[in-house]
A and B are shown apart, each in its own frame.
Chain A
Amino acid sequence: MTFMKKTLTASITLAAATSMAISTAQADISDGEVRIGYLADMSGTYRDLAGPGGEAAMEMAIEDFGGSVNGAPIEILSADDRNSADVGANTVREWIDQDNVDMVGGLVASSVSIAVTNVLEENNGLGIVSGSAASSITNEHCTPNHIHYVYDTYPLANGTAKAVVDQGGDSWFMLTADYAFGHALEGDVTEVVEESGGEIVGGVRHPFPTSDFSSYILQAQGSGAKIVGLANAGADTVNAITTASQFGLTQSGQQLAGLLIFLNDVHSLGLESTQNLLLTTGWYWDMDDEARAWSDRYFEEVGARPTMVQAGIYSSTMHYLKSVEAAGTDDPEVVRAQMAAEPINDFFARNGQIREDGRMVHDMYLAQVKTPEESTGEWDLYNILSTIPADEAYRPLSESQCDLVQN
């Protein structure tokens, strides 16, 4: 008992002394440092769309910001979540308990992000989700402790599916990854296709992950649908597209619609098998001078062109640091409010604004993959066809199921 009392008194005294020392030195930055945790798939299926490249982008942001906020140095911790919700949640719990991490960034697989944002809510932390797709992250799974930054399944369906139906692709066969993200995307797409006057004539839910798609492609060919919609991601999408091209799917008059395709996927597949594919993206490295200038710097660091997720990680880290500076504190609630108060317009986001549900809405783009003849270089992959304005791209707040939204 006496021992505990003593320890308790000692720690209180110590804590008081430390906090006094800090408050005089660095205003309200907790423990005198801004600590950012970078959590992502660093070795698995989703490595190339965020992974080490995303960490490099985050480091670039910190360096460009000057390495410190109001005199408090900025530090990065990073970990591999191996696409496991448990690993992700435990890592973040440890970061908050033991390392005083102020913000968690990266966050790729939707299942990991949902688990991590729950931990952040319990412990009053702050998270910026950049890699995940599920729109539920700011809908039924919204919390006051996170922001969803780059894109989600709603604009993917809204952009690609709508454009395809408008071009005459009115009968669809869905190839869906059989887990939460695939189901969500399939649902969003079905809604958009039917609203635009098309119909879903069939579909297959394939296990995640699948390496051999030949059987499913054969079924899609047999369905007679004009469009084969790919509601999957990463290696599954790459495999499905490769197999479709081997079986002559597009030569026989059918068309593929990739609903979630990243730059690295197209780069890996090559233009021969992806040409003319329509897709929706939050950003493209070659879309204007500002984007190009930043990508050139990134290219020098990493040796590849950045995906929208990697660019978004830079942009969101920068916006976070500016908000900490402006608010004079790293208190999650205050910083989140500050981040939502300022519009975001940089090389990444146009007309960007963080809504009360945590969704960062910004202009999205409908793009088409170039043909090998059009392309002038290894990374010259997309034509931007049109802009989907920020206020139309995302699920309207009036349809939101998020508790933070007053409906």
Chain B
Amino acid sequence: MKQLACLAIPIGLLVWLLVTFSPLYKNTLEPLRFPTYPPTIALEIMSLGNRELVSTFIFYNAQFYFGEKYAWRQEAPEYQRLFVALDKATDLDPRNMDCYYLAQGLFSDITPAIPVLNRLLEKGMRARPTDWYLPFFIGANYYFQLKDPVNAAEYMQKAAEISPDKDFFASLSARMLYQGNQTEAAIAYLKAFIKQTNNPAIRAKLTLRLHSLQAIAFLEHSVADFIKAKGRLPHNLEEVVHAGLIDAIPADPYGGTFYLENSGRVYTTSKLTETWKDHDKRHQDQQSR
């Protein structure tokens, strides 16, 4: 009886503690910070002959951190620390494709980061000379972010040389270089990227961009139809709606407003960039729903 009491009292105490403090803990989350890793040489020594494993651990840490910070907490991730960590992970194991893939997913829409991102991807190209994804990523970064079609074509050519899917690159390069249709090229690039992504947070980030670009492509097609029908450029997108070519102007998933330029191209006030204010609003909307 005494033994039973000795067991029942601490178990009861534990249950009470769990029931009382679990909700409290849930509502008062500790700030989530991404760690600063020691220099690469120290990591190499500490890995005790398991550099590739330490590189994988750093990648996993970056991936889980981003997933929790971006998708769950809806907060701005510490991009600079993430980049430094991925750079160190690829110093430890330059063949770690996961790191390059995550880096492209995280930084390819941050224009000031493109030069360093491309340097990281070049490291991958040297270590993985038969992987077409790396020159494909660099080419895409040159084209979409740095607006440099010459360098983009050079890397797309390198990707085409080693890719089994030559047709995809032929059509993408044609869109980039000859038709000058950036929106269609960007949609093709994003679809190829998303197809190979199994990380939900990265997928959500890229899908948001894809949906916005698809809305732009839809509007650009309707503007082209308007020109065909009326023989002139519409004054604005509302005129296309009034002409009955489309029912309504779709909403920009980034929270901006689509508008028509004199060139006939459709742009958005959000510049396809997610501001964290919009992000918070979207989060609140989701919560209230």
Asked if A and B bind, the verdict is no
User: Which residues of B are in contact with A by a Cβ distance under 8 Å?
Assistant: none
User: Which residues of A are in contact with B by a Cβ distance under 8 Å?
Assistant: none
